[in-house]
């Protein structure tokens, strides 16, 4: 996936009618964790009403505590895929934690008539889970969103992406989602979106930003603008190709990361803000 002198290979790929490249931008607004069918439907309806064809939906959740909600797993896939078909969602970014999850996704897609595409997400806790990377790299069906590891160097995370490509799957998007720091930062993670152009210079991968997991809150600045909006705009102006962002119809009842989820009513405003930032890029 590295960019070498004289490398004329194009960046990006097509999947389920959507082109992912270093030259365009897609927004994956959605639920950090699927909780109820009603919330999935409200989210997807809002996306359709706002002209969106991509979303994020968490079925398998990597939680810090074993006592925290772990996601509905395979149980929610049938209604997630069915509703995606109903609302014209072309691609769902969905984290997997184990290679067996790919089979569960395949099975649910087949049973629901393949109404949508799935982009497998490998989260920051699994960036260096090499056996998972190899297994995901061996399959050609699903593209992959690989998040940067939150406590390793950029070079190490880029090598993790090569694990996918070296096994044959080069349909990879690289995700920046903030870094852990011991500096007592006001954000949940130290925002690393200044590295968007660096990753695009070093590799052929489209670059995703995840402002929700970087900022970690719905905090609003003195200008009345949520910090997630401003941090997103920074990443988009830096050339990001994909924005993964948490929304929820009722953040107070969200089972995972409610404090950082934007409210559904804010979706049109968020999309307009991203459009303006992209124009400024």
Q: Examine residue 192 and tell whether it contacts ligand PEP (CB under 6 A).
A: no
- Minimum distance from residue 194 beta carbon to ligand PEP (Å): 18
- List residues bridging with 19 in a β-sheet: 14
- Selection from 59, 51, 58, 46 nearest residue 26 by Cα: 51
Query: Smallest distance from the beta carbon of 14 to ligand PEP, in angstroms?
Result: 24
Minimum CB–partner distance for residue 241 and ligand PEP (Å): 17
* Distance between first and last Cα of the chain: 24
Determine which residue in the list 35, 95, 192, 273 makes contact with ligand PEP, applying CB under 6 A.
Answer: 95
The site that binds ligand PEP (CB under 6 A) totals a number of residues, namely 10
**CB 9 to ligand PEP: min, Å:** 28
Beta bridge partners of 242: 26, 208
Of the candidates 235, 131, 224, the residue with the CA atom closest to the CA atom of residue 191? 235
**Position 173 contacts ligand PEP (CB under 6 A):** no
Residue 51 CB, nearest distance to ligand PEP (Å)? 23
Binding test (CB under 6 A) with ligand PEP, winner from 39, 101, 177, 187? 177
From the list 25, 27, 31, 32, which residue makes contact with ligand PEP (rule: CB under 6 A)? 32
Contacts (CB under 6 A) with ligand PEP, residues 46-65: 58, 62
Contact 31, 212 (CB under 8 A): no
Closer of 147 and 204 to ligand PEP (Cβ): 147
Task: For residue 101, state whether it binds ligand PEP (rule: CB under 6 A).
Answer: no
> Which residue from 10, 45, 19, 20 is spatially nearest to 30, judged by alpha carbons?
45
Contact between 82 and ligand PEP by CB under 6 A: the answer reads no
Q: What is the DSSP string of 94-129?
A: EE-SSTHHHHHHHHHHHHTTS-SEEEEEE-GGGTT-
**Cα 281 from chain centroid?**
21
Which of positions 139-168 make contact with ligand PEP (CB under 6 A)?
147
Give the residue, chosen from 35, 170, 210, 273, that forms a contact with ligand PEP under the rule CB under 6 A. 210
> What gap in Å lies between CA 16 and CA 9, rounded to an integer?
21
Alpha helix ranges (H) inside 24-89: 37-49, 77-86
211 binds ligand PEP (CB under 6 A): no
248 binds ligand PEP, rule: CB under 6 A: no
3-state secondary structure of 264: helix
DSSP strands (E only) in 85-142: 91-95, 117-122
Residues that bind ligand PEP (CB under 6 A): 32, 58, 62, 95, 123-124, 147, 177, 210, 213
């Amino acid at each position: 996936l590295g960019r070498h002198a004289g490398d004329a290979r194009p960046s990006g790929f097509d999947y389920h009618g959507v082109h992912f490249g270093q030259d365009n931008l897609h927004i994956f607004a959605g639920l950090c964790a699927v909780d109820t069918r009603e919330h999935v439907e409200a989210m997807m309806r809002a996306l359709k009403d706002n002209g969106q064809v991509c979303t994020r939906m968490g079925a398998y959740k990597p939680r810090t505590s074993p006592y925290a909600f772990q996601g509905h797993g395979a149980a929610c896939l049938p209604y997630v895929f069915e509703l995606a078909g109903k609302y014209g969602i072309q691609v769902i970014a969905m984290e997997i934690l184990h290679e067996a999850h790919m089979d569960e996704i395949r099975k649910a897609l087949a049973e629901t008539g393949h109404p949508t595409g799935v982009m497998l997400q490998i989260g920051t806790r699994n960036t260096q889970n090499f056996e998972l990377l190899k297994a995901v790299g061996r399959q050609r069906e699903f593209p992959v969103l690989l998040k940067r590891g939150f406590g390793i160097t950029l070079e190490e995370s880029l090598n993790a992406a090569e694990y996918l490509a070296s096994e044959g799957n080069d349909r990879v998007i690289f995700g920046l989602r903030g870094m852990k720091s011991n500096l007592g930062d006001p954000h949940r993670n130290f925002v690393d979106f200044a590295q968007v152009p660096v990753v695009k210079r070093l590799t052929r991968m489209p670059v995703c930003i995840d402002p929700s997991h970087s900022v970690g809150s719905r905090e609003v600045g003195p200008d009345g603008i949520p910090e997630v909006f401003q941090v997103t705009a920074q990443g988009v102006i830096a050339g990001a190709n994909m924005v993964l962002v948490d929304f929820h119809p009722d953040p107070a009842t969200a089972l995972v990361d409610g404090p950082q989820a934007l409210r559904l009513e804010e979706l049109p405003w968020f999309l307009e803000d991203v459009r303006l930032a992209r124009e400024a890029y």
